[in-house]
Chains A and B, each alone.
Chain A
Amino acid sequence: MRCDACQNNEATVFLTQIVEGKMQKVNLCPDCSKEKGVTDPTGFALADLLLGLGTNTELEKPAVAASTAVSPDAPALKCPTCGFTQADFKKTQRMGCSECYVTFAESVVTPLRSNHKGSQHVGKVPARQFARAELDNRMQTLSDDLVKAVKEEDYEGAAQLRDAIRKLEGQLKTAV
């Protein structure tokens, strides 16, 4: 059986706790049990162990913990893009989509970042993708301007824009 905290080592410490009449079980490896202070079973709540998700109360009402004025019975956080909730994260230990990283930045991402060497990405950047996006953007602007110029019967301007678009098309082709 694997450790619930690090998902990595063999669990050797098995804990059962009753919180508000509900039984909770956690399996931990020796390292994580030490790190989480499990040696003193009265001194911690199992929910705290659930990978930085906060205590039970915070889980059910995440809005309370936030400093913004949200009514206490506000629904749990939900990703506007994919509909993923914090409860889903608790269950799957995976995110729903890339936007979830924005939605759950505070509650999930920040605590788990501590498992890494740092909190700022310093590795590879998709430079080609960015360059391509910028060219696409410029192309869009030029096309919009061209439509406008034709509409306003500014044929000289339109001819210049058409040349600029052709040049950019050439660049786009060589970029790919």
Chain B
Amino acid sequence: MKFANFISGPLAVRPAGAHHDIVISSRVRLARNVKGRPFPGWAKKADRLAVLEVIKPPVDALPEMDDAFSEYLQDLSATEKQILVERHLISREHAAKSTGSAVVMNREQTVSIMVNEEDHLRMQSIRPGFQLKAVHRAIDEIDTRLEDTLDYAFSPKLGFLTACLTNVGTGMRASAMLHLPALVLDEKVNQVIQAVNKIGLAVRGLYGEGSEAMGNLFQISNQTTLGEREEDILGRLNKVIEQIIEHEQNARATLLQKKSTTLLDQIGRAFGILMHAHSMTSKEALNLLSFLRLGTDLGFFPADRRQPLDELFTETQPAHLQRGSTQKLGAEERDALRADIIRVKLKELPGPDSSRLAAAG
């Protein structure tokens, strides 16, 4: 499949999980390596190419990859790779790779397999909403099927062996992307992050490790992979996420009742700036769009506006803006284009309906 066809394919067909107002997406990735071959970071180019030819055919042959986008990384442009990063289909590390690495993903963009990232195989399943167990099941099936052809590096004591010791054991990292604007507004999010860290889970920004939290988006994931069964790790994560969802819901209720002016002010300002700005950085856009999303969740905007709004979160990212242009856009041009796209897409959006506040109070 061509990149343009793949990337413009419909995303709406992806089955949404529960709590999709707060849980943007659920994701599980597995790290696997082929026995007796050096890990990609240490392997010579010839080794990487050789292992790629061992791995890619069975991956391409998976029934999930029937109508797949499958490409060697040297055949993708920097912008194309960055678009995949912005869609959370490949990691930032993988986008930096070229010859000797590949990516294979299904048409629905729910399964993505990176070959020769930090490990020989990094496979992930990602879906909207809160559905970690279903997402795990999907990627686990693929993993089991690949065992028919591939000999994984596995030790009975340490489990699946990975390049980094932090992944050894299950090789599994499960995460959920949460939208927590009320906890941020209520200044409670730091408490939540600290509590989550204390029980051995990680909180990260929009693009994972080392990235900044923007747009009130937080990624919660397991830190440890050894000494615990997959189901137990997922169970622990699920429980914590359920609690965070509850905290966010409570914070939203509190804001509606006790700080309705602050709330309406934030949403109204976000609306005003998004509707009238002519230059906007991606960080500002994400932060403002976050408040419109919250406004939609609270009923200040018509529910049918949710999808175009959600699309803007991705479409205003730098590489997505770049894709329509033949020449490289500078930061200023991108900021102007971003503001234009937002204004056009939100043109029909009516102002926040504050009568909802009275109803809630």
Q: Which of B158-166, B271-279, B293-301 contacts A (4 or more CB under 8 A)?
A: B158-166
Contact flags (1/0) for B188-222 with A, using CB distance below 8 Å?
A: 00000000010010100000011000000000000
Task: Identify which of residues 103-143 in chain A touch chain B, using a CB-to-CB cut-off of 8 Å.
Answer: 108-109, 112-113, 115-129, 132-133
Chain B residues closer than 8 Å to A99, beta-carbon distance: 36
Q: Is A166 an interface residue (CB 8 A)?
A: no
Q: Is B340 an interface residue (CB 8 A)?
A: no
Decide if B38 touches A129 in the complex (CB within 8 Å): no
Counted as pairs of residues, one from A and one from B, with CB atoms less than 8 Å apart, the total is: 126
Chain B residues closer than 8 Å to A132, beta-carbon distance: 147-148
Q: Is A93 an interface residue (CB 8 A)?
A: yes
5 A-B residue contacts at CB 8 Å?
A81-B38, A116-B225, A117-B224, A119-B157, A120-B157
Interface centre among B147, B152, B229 (most CB of A within 10 A): B147
Decide if A94 touches B164 in the complex (CB within 8 Å): yes
Give bound CA distance, A116 to B118, whole Å: 20
| Besides A115-B165, A116-B224, 5 new A-B residue pairs in contact (Cβ under 8 A), listed by A number | A113-B165, A121-B158, A121-B159, A126-B154, A128-B144
Chain A residues closer than 8 Å to B154, beta-carbon distance: 125-126, 129
Chain B residues closer than 8 Å to A126, beta-carbon distance: 147, 152, 154
Give bound CA distance, A175 to B149, whole Å: 11
Number of interface residues of A (CB under 8 A): 41
Interface residues of A (CB under 8 A from B): 2, 7-9, 31, 81-82, 84, 88, 92-99, 101, 108-109, 112-113, 115-129, 132-133, 175-176
Chain A residues closer than 8 Å to B311, beta-carbon distance: none
* CB of B129 to closest CB in A, whole Å: 25
Chain A residues closer than 8 Å to B291, beta-carbon distance: none
Q: Which residue of chain B is the closest to A98 with respect to CB atoms?
A: B153
Q: Is B327 an interface residue (CB 8 A)?
A: no
The 8 Å CB contact of B226, one of A7, A8, A93, A113, is A113
Interface residues of B (CB under 8 A from A): 33, 35-39, 41-42, 118, 140, 143-144, 147-166, 168-170, 172, 197, 200, 202, 209-210, 223-230
* CB of A54 to closest CB in B, whole Å: 16
Interface centre among A2, A99, A109, A117 (most CB of B within 10 A): A117
* CB of A104 to closest CB in B, whole Å: 10
Q: Which residue of chain A is the closest to B145 with respect to CB atoms?
A: A128
Give bound CA distance, A94 to B230, whole Å: 23
The 8 Å CB contact of A101, one of B41, B42, B144, B158, is B158
* CB of B275 to closest CB in A, whole Å: 35
* CB of B197 to closest CB in A, whole Å: 8
Decide if B224 touches A96 in the complex (CB within 8 Å): no
Decide if A128 touches B159 in the complex (CB within 8 Å): no
With contacts A98-B33, A119-B226, A176-B148 known, is A124 near B170, CB below 8 A?
yes
The 8 Å CB contact of A118, one of B37, B143, B210, B227, is B227
With contacts A2-B210, A109-B158 known, is A92 near B41, CB below 8 A?
yes
Decide if A121 touches B165 in the complex (CB within 8 Å): no
Interface centre among A88, A116, A121 (most CB of B within 10 A): A121
Decide if A121 touches B156 in the complex (CB within 8 Å): yes
* CB of B163 to closest CB in A, whole Å: 4
The 8 Å CB contact of B230, one of A115, A120, A124, is A124
Chain A residues closer than 8 Å to B224, beta-carbon distance: 115-117
Decide if A108 touches B169 in the complex (CB within 8 Å): no
Decide if B159 touches A123 in the complex (CB within 8 Å): yes
The 8 Å CB contact of A98, one of B36, B149, B172, B228, is B36
Give bound CA distance, A93 to B162, whole Å: 12
Decide if A93 touches B164 in the complex (CB within 8 Å): yes
Q: Which residue of chain B is the closest to A113 with respect to CB atoms?
A: B226
Chain A residues closer than 8 Å to B42, beta-carbon distance: 82, 84, 88, 92, 94-97
Give bound CA distance, A126 to B146, whole Å: 10
Give bound CA distance, A31 to B223, whole Å: 15
Decide if A94 touches B118 in the complex (CB within 8 Å): yes
Chain A residues closer than 8 Å to B158, beta-carbon distance: 101, 109, 121
* CB of A25 to closest CB in B, whole Å: 19
Decide if B157 touches A121 in the complex (CB within 8 Å): yes
Chain B residues closer than 8 Å to A97, beta-carbon distance: 36-39, 42, 153
Chain B residues closer than 8 Å to A121, beta-carbon distance: 155-160, 169-170, 226-227
* CB of A174 to closest CB in B, whole Å: 11
